[in-house]
Structure 1
Amino acid sequence: MLSPLKLLGSISVIFFYLYDTPPALADNLLLKNGDRLSGSIISFSDGLCIFDTHYGSAVRVPTTDILAIGSNTPYTLLFASGEKATGQLKATTDNRTLLESATFGTTPVDVSQIVSLARFRPSGPLMQENTKAGASDHRYGEDQPAQPPLDFLTGSTVLLPPGEHELDLGLAYKQSRIQYGLPQAGHFQRSSYSARQLELRPTLRTGLQRHLEAYLSLPLTYSHVQDISGNEFVRKADAWRLADIALGVQYQIVEEDADTPAIALSLDINIPTGQKRYNDVFNSWKDPLNNGSGHWSLTPGIAFVRSTDPAILFGGVGYQYSFARTLDGYHIKPGWVLKGYAGVGFALNERLSLGGRLSYAYSANLRADHQTIHGSDADPLELSFSAAYRLSEDWVVSPEISLGLNDEAGPAALSTHFKRRFN
């Protein structure tokens, strides 16, 4: 898995060499082949340690190759069991690792069970005294456990460790309008048709265990449609409704290393709680009030993530199967959908990241009353751009714009996500 700590490590190496005075050598690694490394742990997460020796580029060490760790810097440790501890790691003469913690005392730890290390930043009176003393060698972000917000990777890999949760408050808006003049009815009169939709999509994601996370999304929409044939004839309709509930799981089967990308499998389920009407010709102007598919569906998928400094490449494919259902007196069987996407993202620093994605899907013809409706297939093409900014240690804001590149992709959409992580 491509971890935020790994990317922060790559960026931090560049900043370390921009300063005249390098940080003190505080960390030591003993490898299983007998090698010893002295320097600084930049990141330690999900099977990969990025270690700065100050003699060149950072060294990438698989955590499975590490026998023991020693440091005079306090770290917060996350174990594979989901437990956390804070303290200093000490390497013994018999190549064991001890954790010296105010809570647990001196305890031996198994390095192979450590999922991640984050440099501990103290708070309270002690931190205030150090600030007043004025440590001139303190650099912005050096001791912060903050990680780059990699929101553009959501859905492409597992981002949450065990026991951590994320609440995503998404807000999206899209609209379309067709308008032309009516000279025969008066110079100022217009004929127009407009549709608008505002969607609030709260989503809860949770890390179930290492390499496994799940999500549940409960969207609510406000839809408004207005059909104007002139001042003498105006009709409109609007509605607040619950849209389709979505839930799913994602499991990372391959961790990224020097030769292979991170690979994750996913399964998404759509529950038809939204409205879906097949209106007759006289009421077809109300079609934009639909905010659901009307059908249960399953979508298995596979996605990859690959880091190629300074960029992160990601993409995936999925196959959606929808179940038949009787709606408005018709027996409807939607066509299968094959969809894929590819994108690139950049973590500019520990607070800001940018991403772009190109998405394509092909939807086969639907069947109505057991008859194939030719020409009902579609292949929307969409391009989206997003940014993510860390407001604080727990909150991230992520605006996004999606542009339909053909008629079947629909109008442009603006969205903003406010995300908060908690244990």
Structure 2
Amino acid sequence: MTHYQELRRKILFLVFFLSHHIYADEIHLNNGDRISGHFVHLSSRICTFATPYQTTLDMKRSQILRLRVVQPVMVELYSGERLIGTLNSTQDGVIFLQSQNLGEFTLQLVDIKNISTIKSKKSIFSENWISTWDNLQGKGLGGIPQPGSSESTSPETVGEKDDEKLRRLLLQKTAVLLEAGEQEIEFALNYSNDLANGVRQRTLTFPFAYHYGFTNRLEAFINLPLSWAEQTSSSDSDFNKNNALGISDIRAGFSYLLRKEDKNFPDMIGLFNVTAPTGHEPNPTDSDHVPLGSGHWRITTGLTLVRTYDPATLFGGMAYTHTLANTFNDGVRVSPGDSLTYRFGMGFSINYQLAGFSQLLGIYQTDTKHDNVKILGSAREPMLFETGIIYALDRKRFLQSAVTFGLNDEAVDVSLDLSYIHRF
């Protein structure tokens, strides 16, 4: 063999070796075809695949039986969670995902919503972790957690991007962003217990929230809470117990995805909502009256930032609330003062069904005014710590539980939350 022939043989071997690795992804179709190439993207209907011949194929998803992808990809499940890893398949309809951090998962192909390469611009933002412009209810500062109705929370990726539904549900507490035409209902139970100035207040609230995604960036919501409240006070010579049942203040608004996360910037979500004083307002002339609402209109604008790091999601945000003055039945015009709300925390995927989250919540409320006269020392600054878990029952149904502890005297002592979330 001449030197030229030997060199040619080595070059051909090298080309074959490199092409084998460059185009190592593989798809098996139901007509018996087996296609090797480079995986691009899988959606609910189409799979895009690049072949070694510089052509791109769009195949119907229903034709796919098996899929192998040697480079890490992001897999989004219909349950809302995201997994990161390589894919392999040895039997029809079953995908084995190998995660560097979490080991191997066995997935059914029908449970996968879409698959994106890590650098793909088609990665999906979802929502859901932190609903707590409201959780900052503090001492009558208004609302019970929600992000999206719950505005939150929560935000679920088990891999490099834990943001879609971990974020949607871990973000549900901050800004729930649904897909266009997608709807969500949330039934919740909240119990809070607080003791201040010798008066104990117990509140049991049943918030009902509805969300609708107008586009992939814009979502509207409304929160309709039914509440029961009890106040007890005692002294050496007297004991009083009073309660009330009815509708609390109703809140409605929208969230908008200002910027999607990329390598340089986090997700940026803007929010705007209005709270109407539909609950029984305070009655300064009746000490036995138990209010279920604040008695004030409130307008809130805010910004939430979300950043994902395998397998965690970091989030934070601020909101400003303007509270309109109101004249109560004693003839005094009360202006509670505007407030600045802040929060930051983290969500963490435990597995593809379970996620945990924790966050620090705080509010600074300016001094109250009576008939335009500032009440010195009436400013409040409650701080709370919330922690909870989110569990996916199936693709569309979730359970979320949380406990919130007051960190100072101006915050509610303790609050317990349980939510059932259904998307359709």
Tell me by how many angstroms 1:234 deviates: 3.9
CA contact (8 A) 1:274 1:290 kept: yes
1:359 aligns with 361
Query: Which of 163, 177, 180 is residue 162 of structure 1 equivalent to?
Result: 180
What SS does the corresponding residue of 1:303 show, helix, strand or coil?
A: strand
Please point out which of 249, 255, 267 is paired with 2:254: 249
**Residue 98 of structure 1 pairs with residue 58 of structure 2:** yes
> How far did residue 221 of structure 1 move?
0.2
Root-mean-square deviation (CA, aligned residues, Å) is 3.5
1:298 aligns with 2:264: no
SS in 2 for 1:153: strand
Question: Aligned residue for 2:241?
Answer: 236
Shift of 1:337: 0.4
Shift of 1:250: 0.9
Structure 1 match to 2:419:
417
1:198 maps onto 2:204 in alignment: yes
Q: Does the 8 Å CA contact 1:76/1:119 hold for their aligned counterparts?
A: no
Q: 1:319 maps to what in 2?
A: 320
Give, in angstroms, the shift of residue 91 of structure 1.
5.2
Give how far 1:140 is off: 2.7
TM-score, normalization by structure 2: 0.65
Say if 1:157 and 1:304, in contact at 8 Å, map to a contact too: no
Provide Cα deviations, 1:7-42, integer angstroms capped at 9, x if missing partner. Answer: xxxxxxxxxxxxxxxxxxxxxxxxxxxx9765489x
Alignment CA distance shift 1:119-1:89 (3 Å) = farther
Please give the secondary structure, in 2, of the residue aligned with 1:199.
strand
Q: Shift in Å at residue 88 of structure 1?
A: 4.5
**What letter corresponds to residue 216 of structure 1 in structure 2?**
I
Q: Distance in 2 between matches of 1:209 and 1:117?
A: 22
Once the 2 structures are TM-superposed, how far is the Cα of residue 225 of structure 1 from its aligned partner? Answer: 2.0
Verify the 8 A CA contact 1:157 1:262 in the aligned structure 2: no
1:365 is displaced (CA, Å) by 0.8
Q: In structure 1, what residue type is equivalent to 2:210?
A: L
In structure 1, the partner of 2:171 is 153
**Equivalents in 2 of 1:225, 1:120: separation in Å?**
44
Q: Paired residue for 1:331?
A: 333
Q: CA deviation at 1:176?
A: 3.3
- 1:260 pairs with one of 231, 244, 265: 265
C-alpha distance 348-101 of structure 1, shift in aligned 2 (>3 A): closer
8 A Cα contact 1:269 1:299, kept in partner: yes
Distance apart, 1:169 and its partner CA: 0.8
Distance in 2 separating the partners of 1:135 and 1:208: 34
d(CA) in 2 for partners of 1:336 and 1:134?
56
Q: Could you tell me how far 1:296 is from its partner in structure 2? A: 1.1
- 1:80 equivalent in structure 2: none
Tell me the equivalent position of 1:224: 230
Q: List alignment gaps of at least 5 residues for structure 2.
A: 1-20, 28-37, 64-73, 80-90, 98-104, 114-155, 158-164
CA distance in 1, matches of 2:282, 2:47: 62
Counterpart selection for 1:275 from 280, 285, 304: 280
> Which residue identity does 1:100 align to in structure 2?
K
Give the C-alpha shift of residue 98 in structure 1.
2.9
1-structure distance, mates of 2:316, 2:359: 8
8 Å Cα contact 1:223/1:239 also seen in 2? yes
Secondary structure of 1:392's counterpart equals: coil
Moved more, 168-177 or 208-217: 168-177
Aligned length: 314
Judged with a 3 Å threshold, the aligned counterparts in structure 2 of structure 1 residues 154 and 40 are, in CA distance, closer, same or farther, namely: farther
Cα distance between partner residues in 1 of 2:205 and 2:78: 39
Q: Give me the TM-score of the superposition, normalised by structure 1.
A: 0.66
Which residue does 1:309 correspond to in 2? 310
Q: Secondary structure at the match of 2:252?
A: strand
Contact kept, 8 Å, 2:244 with 2:292, in 1: the verdict is no
Rounded to whole Å, the distance in 2 between the matches of 1:363 and 1:158 is: 26
SS at match of 2:377: coil
- Partner Cα separation in structure 1 for residue 408 and residue 313 of structure 2: 27
Q: Among residues 113, 130, 141, which one is paired with 2:107 in the alignment?
A: 141
From the superposition, tell whether residues 239 and 157 of structure 1 become closer, same or farther in structure 2 (CA, over 3 Å): closer
Distance 1:152 1:120 in 2: 16
Displacement of 1:196: 1.3
